[in-house]
Amino acid sequence: MGKKKQLQEKPDRSRALACTPIRNPEVEEQKISGGILLRYPVEVKPWFQSIFKRLSNRDSNIIMRRLELDALGSSVWEMVDGKQTVAQIAEKFRTTHQLGTREAELSVTGFLKDLGKRSLIAMKE
């Protein structure tokens, strides 16, 4: 028969909260009214390269995407400094916005997960 698939172990809550988010150094940040505008590079997929080159008149396979953060997202982004853990960020977010502990943790971890999917941050254990 075939090889057994190894199940990827999900980190438990305490391990996840102990991780430290680190910003991608390629992300450009600009303060705008009401938040922060992030610009970050995204590599063009091979099947899309020829269309992209014709439409953009550029030889690069990298495009810059934009993400506009609201006031809440901006407050979390500013706390991502490579030193504070997810738990510390969630606690500051909780006190600043007068939320419950669990609500703050869910909000912050969900937002950081979204930033991670976009490769704007990485997590360090």
- Domain membership flag for residue 5: no
Q: pTM score > 0.75 for this model?
A: yes
| Confidence (pLDDT) at 49 | 65
The overall average pLDDT reported for the chain is 85
Question: In this structure, what CATH number is given to the domain that contains residue 30?
Answer: 3.90.930.60
Q: How far is CA 66 from the centre of its chain?
A: 13
- Residue that has been written with the tokens 């698939």 in this structure: 5
Radius of gyration of the chain (CA): 18
| Confidence (pLDDT) at 9 | 55
Which one-letter amino acid corresponds to residue 52? F
Cα separation, 82 vs 71, whole angstroms: 20
| Confidence (pLDDT) at 2 | 47
pLDDT at residue 89 tops 90: yes
- Domain membership flag for residue 1: no
pLDDT at residue 56 tops 90: no
What is the number of domains present in the chain? 1
Q: What is the three-class DSSP state of 63?
A: strand
- Domain membership flag for residue 2: no
**Residues of the domain holding 18:** 13-124
